[in-house]
Amino acid sequence: MDSIRLEQIIEAIEKGKMRGYDEIVTGSPADKDLSSKDLSGEPANLIQYALQKKGDVYVAYFFMIAVDRMHLYEDEAIEQSVSFPERNQAIDFLIARGAKIERFAPFRGQRPFS
């Protein structure tokens, strides 16, 4: 991981800016390296990760839904927004769900939370 890039991400988060990314992958984010797309026929999932400092806490956000089930968003989506007192706890929460912190960037368009 490029340490300068990671420092920029951390600096932005410390200033209260939201950073994260979304992607469409096959399978579960924790099961495999998401940088390689799988063509095994597993359903594709829309996954979104975000992190933002709000006051003295760090809010970590994780969202996942099967692309072919988006019409059932309210019943099928997994959406977690968890506050942590320490930045590393929030980062560990997201990494455990498959996030690649070095991919975090400003959101374009609709943000996952405000």
Assigned domain for 112 exists:
no
- Say how many residues make up the chain: 114
Q: What is the mean pLDDT of the chain?
A: 87
The residue type of 44 is A
The pLDDT tens digits for 55-103 are 999 999 999 999 998 888 888 899 999 999 999 999 999 999 999 999 9
Tally of domains within the chain: 1
- Domain span including residue 86: 3-28+43-103
Distances (CA, A) of 48 to 40, 58, 79, 82, 84: 22, 17, 9, 14, 18
**pTM value?**
0.83
Distances (CA, A) of 110 to 9, 21, 88: 19, 11, 26
Residue 34, pLDDT > 50, answer: no
Assigned domain for 36 exists:
no
Assigned domain for 22 exists:
yes
Kindly state the average pLDDT of the residues 15-25: 94
